[in-house]
Every structure is written in structure tokens, then in C-alpha cells.
């Protein structure tokens, strides 16, 4: 982030001012408090924490990231009759001027700044203060993880390659260079491990961070690093001690139809809580699928055909008409009324943790354990399925396929293809020019926004752009 942007974000975060000046020297908090004195009490931290959480409700975080995570892969495609959104991503022609990429970068760093203000606040230590700071550390780690997955090569490909700038404290003069992918992952792991020790295991509902949110995310980060030993250990602790459960196949649709955060640890570990005020209009994820909104994102036949007829997850894809044609539509996000979307955005679910444990165990040669975790999930989704009994590479492929089926429309598929070094192979529903992309295609990494390149001479562009 550049000097002017951090200054503008600081004023917005701390004092809620809507306007911004043309230069940093004009930007002063209206009550003249310096940064280090702005948050001084538990009450201040609580208010700032709410602001941090609300920052994740923006469409660039709660719509763009999960939507393109499926669009850039083989799960969805854009209807020929569309609203013009995400066309560059669909065609793999995204450039440094793309507004979605620019604004996603900005909003992720906005939330990081809000988290930094909490983490660095000189408030006397207490259990509550530690909880708040642990929540902020977790969210900071999550935002950096989204950034490094979008704008850098996968960790397993080249950890020494350019990542994203790490900014952990406010500095109005800072013009940072890009840290390495390794540096960014090291900070993410450090934040999540520290956060786990600072927090308790319960909060009012799944829209707040707990120690098990941090550990569930940590297990996934380890998976992406191919550190399967630590991924399995973290996932197993969540499974054993977190208190989470799977919904039954009969209640799967009801789970997704409910707009409220859960209070009973059913399925959801952490979600971004939204409401009709935060998602007024058509800017939410649901409207990219719902045919009463834009409805641009349609489900590929390849994905749909993976589900058996008795799999409850198949019921989350419905048949519809669009421009007179029969199409398949994702129905995980159902609460769209009066131009409002009240569906929360799931960040990590218990099913994901079971799949992380299954894959990690299988890759460590503990195939029986891997099958146990895999079948626990799959049998909950399809009670008539006898369960997997595969081994070796076939078992790994079965787990990856189940990840695709279970996490569809939640934004994970493209990240999985990248971390595994697999090609994107889209069917003929995708644009002809972008149906097969090998793992080393430069377009698998998003361009650094041009505004950042223009403002900060130390920022370098990704290769190919």
C-alpha cells in the first residue's frame, strides 16, 4: 500500500470520515489524537473490531474472491447473456487496469490496516484484550493469505518468488516492496499460531473468530504449503476439540437456506456476516448466481455430473431457464429478497477441515485414517453411498474430487488447482480461447493493480503482464 492510501484508510478506520484530502499532509484525525493513542480501552478495541469485521462485507471480498475462485476453474462459466461482470476473468484476459482486481487489493489492505490498529493498540492486557487482538491477528492472516493466493505464485511452486508487501504497523512514509511468498506465509503462520494461544473457543456465533477458527485456517495454510504433518495435527485438534458437527443430508438444504450465523457449531466454523443493509442492491455473491439478479454464473455440466442422484449436494444445483435455454444454477445462496442478500459468506467449514485431515493423512501414508475422515463427510452427504475404499494416487484423486463437490461455489477450486500444480481444463461451455491453461501459465496469477505500480516504485509487476 502506498503512503496516501494508508493515510486515507487510517482516517476512515479510526474516525469514520467519508471524505479524503488530496495529499497526506492534509489528512489529520479530526480530534488530533495521534495513531498510537486512538485506541486506549477495551471498549475502543471492541468498536474497532466491529469495523474490521464490517470491512469484509464489501463486494470485492465477499463476492469477487469466491466468485472468481470458481469462474477461473472448471466449476462455473458466464452466460452468453450477461451483465458484463468478470468477463476478463472468464476469458483469462485480466490486466493491471481491471477494477475488480484493483478494488479487491485495496479492500484487503483496508481490513489489514484495521486489524493492525487493533493488534498494535497500547491497551492493558486482559483476557478480553487478548481475545480481541487474537481475532484481529486471525483476520490479518486471512487477508494476507487471500492476497498471496491471488497475486503470487503458489507456495509449492516457488516460495522465494515475489509475494505481496507485508505491512504490520502504520507508517505514513512507507512505500513497501513485495515480500517473498515465503515471508508472507511465515507471517500468516505466526499470526495464526499466536492468535490460537490468545483466544478462547467460543464466541456468540460463527461470525466471530475463536481459537478454533485460527487453527482451522492454520490447517489449511499448512496444506497449501504441503506441510501435511502440521496440517493433519491442526485439523485433528479442531475435529477432536472444536465441537463442530456436520448436518445430515436431509437438512443440508435447510443449512444453506438459513441466513443467520450459527450458534451451535453446525457446519460453519467462520463466516462473514452480511445483512440487507450491507448488501443493498445487486453487489452480493448471491446475485451472480440467482436468476432474479444478474444470474451470470452458471454451473458446468462437468461439475453437475460428478454428483450421484442420491447425493444431497446435487440438490443445491437447480435447473432453470435463461434466454430460453436450459441451464444449471447454483442454489447455495438463497436469501435474495427486495434486492438484498442476507446470505453469509462461508470462509471455512467443518467439512473442509475433514477433507484437509483426509488429504493430509493419505499423503502421509495413513490411508485408513484418511478414508475414515473422507467417508465421514461423504456418507453424511449421501447415506446410500457405501464409502470409498481406494488407496494410493486413486485415494488422493477421490479426496480432491470430493473437495470440488463439497466446496463448489465457495471459491476454493481454483486455489486447489494452483496449489496442486494441475492444469485448468474447462469444457466447451467456457470461452474457446481459455479452455486449457497449464499450471505454469502466467495468467494463473493475477496482475498487480496499475495504481499500485504508479504510486510505489518499489512494487514490481507479475511476469507476463
In the block, which residue shows the cell 445483512?
Answer: 275
- What local confidence, expressed as pLDDT, does residue 209 receive? 98
Q: Quick one: which of 98, 50, 430, 406 has its CA closest to 208?
A: 50
Structural domains present in the chain? 39-273+345-455 (1.25.40.390), 286-341 (no CATH)
- What local confidence, expressed as pLDDT, does residue 356 receive? 99
Q: How many CA atoms lie within 13 A of 448 on its CB side?
A: 24
Q: Rounded to two decimals, what is the model's pTM? A: 0.92
- What local confidence, expressed as pLDDT, does residue 336 receive? 73
- What local confidence, expressed as pLDDT, does residue 343 receive? 81
- Give DSSP secondary structure letters for 10-67: HHHHHH------SSGGG---TT---GGGS--SHHHHHHHHHHHHHHTTSHIIIIIHHH
20, three cell numbers: 479524503
- What local confidence, expressed as pLDDT, does residue 21 receive? 30
Q: Quick one: which of 395, 398, 411 has its CA closest to 89?
A: 411
- What local confidence, expressed as pLDDT, does residue 33 receive? 44
- What local confidence, expressed as pLDDT, does residue 20 receive? 34
- What local confidence, expressed as pLDDT, does residue 11 receive? 36
- Give DSSP secondary structure letters for 131-191: HHHHHHHHHHHHHHHHHHHHHS--TTT-TTSB------S--TT----PPBHHHHHHHHHHH
| N- to C-terminal Cα separation, the chain | 20
Positions of the chain with pLDDT under 50? 1-33, 278-281, 339
- What local confidence, expressed as pLDDT, does residue 281 receive? 47
Q: Quick one: which of 337, 288, 285 has its CA closest to 61?
A: 285
Amino acid at each position: 500500500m502506498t503512503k496516501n492510501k494508508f493515510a486515507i484508510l487510517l482516517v476512515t478506520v479510526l474516525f469514520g470520515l467519508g471524505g479524503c484530502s488530496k495529499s497526506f499532509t492534509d489528512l489529520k484525525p479530526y480530534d488530533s489524537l495521534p495513531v498510537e493513542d486512538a485506541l486506549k480501552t477495551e471498549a475502543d478495541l471492541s468498536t474497532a473490531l466491529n469495523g474490521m469485521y464490517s470491512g469484509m462485507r464489501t463486494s470485492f471480498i465477499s463476492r469477487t474472491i469466491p466468485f472468481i475462485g470458481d469462474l477461473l476453474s472448471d466449476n462455473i462459466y458466464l452466460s452468453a447473456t450477461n451483465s458484463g461482470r468478470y468477463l476478463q476473468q472468464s476469458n483469462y484476459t485480466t490486466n493491471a487496469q481491471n477494477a475488480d482486481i484493483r478494488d479487491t487489493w485495496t479492500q484487503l489492505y483496508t481490513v489489514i490496516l484495521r486489524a493492525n490498529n487493533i493488534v498494535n493498540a497500547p491497551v492493558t492486557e486482559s483476557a478480553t484484550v487478548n481475545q480481541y487482538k487474537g481475532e484481529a491477528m486471525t483476520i490479518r492472516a486471512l487477508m494476507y493469505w487471500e492476497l498471496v493466493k491471488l497475486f503470487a505464485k503458489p507456495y509449492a511452486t516457488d516460495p522465494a518468488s515475489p509475494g505481496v508487501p507485508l505491512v504490520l504497523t502504520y507508517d505514513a512514509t512507507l512505500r513497501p516492496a513485495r515480500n517473498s511468498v515465503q515471508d508472507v506465509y511465515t507471517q500468516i503462520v505466526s499470526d495464526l499460531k499466536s492468535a490460537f494461544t490468545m483466544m478462547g473457543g467460543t464466541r456468540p456465533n460463527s461470525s466471530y473468530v475463536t481459537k478454533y477458527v485460527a487453527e482451522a485456517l492454520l490447517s489449511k495454510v499448512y496444506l497449501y504449503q504441503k506441510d501435511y504433518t502440521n496440517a493433519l495435527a491442526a485439523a485433528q485438534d479442531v475435529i477432536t476439540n472444536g465441537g463442530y458437527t456436520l448436518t445430515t443430508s436431509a437438512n443440508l438444504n435447510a443449512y444453506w437456506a438459513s441466513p443467520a450465523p450459527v450458534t451451535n457449531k453446525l457446519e460453519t466454523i467462520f463466516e462473514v456476516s452480511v445483512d440487507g443493509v450491507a448488501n443493498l442492491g445487486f453487489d452480493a455473491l448471491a446475485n451472480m448466481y440467482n436468476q432474479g439478479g444478474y444470474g451470470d454464473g452458471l454451473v458446468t455440466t462437468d461439475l453437475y455430473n460428478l454428483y450421484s442422484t442420491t447425493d444431497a449436494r446435487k440438490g443445491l444445483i437447480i435447473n432453470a431457464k435463461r434466454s430460453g435455454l436450459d441451464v444449471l444454477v447454483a442454489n447455495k445462496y438463497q436469501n435474495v429478497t427486495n434486492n438484498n442478500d442476507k446470505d453469509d459468506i462461508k470462509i471455512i467449514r467443518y467439512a473442509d477441515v475433514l477433507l484437509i485431515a483426509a488429504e493430509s493423512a493419505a499423503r502421509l501414508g495413513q490411508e485408513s485414517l484418511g478414508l475414515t475422515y473422507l467417508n465421514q463427510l461423504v456418507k453424511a452427504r449421501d447415506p446410500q453411498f457405501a464409502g470409498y475404499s481406494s488407496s494410493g494416487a486413486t485415494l488422493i484423486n477421490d479426496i480432491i474430487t470430493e473437495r470440488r463437490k463439497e466446496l463448489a461455489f465457495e471459491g476454493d477450486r481454483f486455489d486447489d488447482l494452483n496449489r496442486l500444480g494441475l492444469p485448468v481444463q474447462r469444457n466447451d461451455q467456457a470461452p474457446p480461447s481459455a479452455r486449457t491453461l497449464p499450471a505454469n501459465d502466467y495468467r494463473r496469477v493475477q496482475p498487480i493493480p496499475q495504481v499500485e505500480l504508479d504510486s510505489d516504485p518499489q512494487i514490481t509487476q507479475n511476469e507476463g503482464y
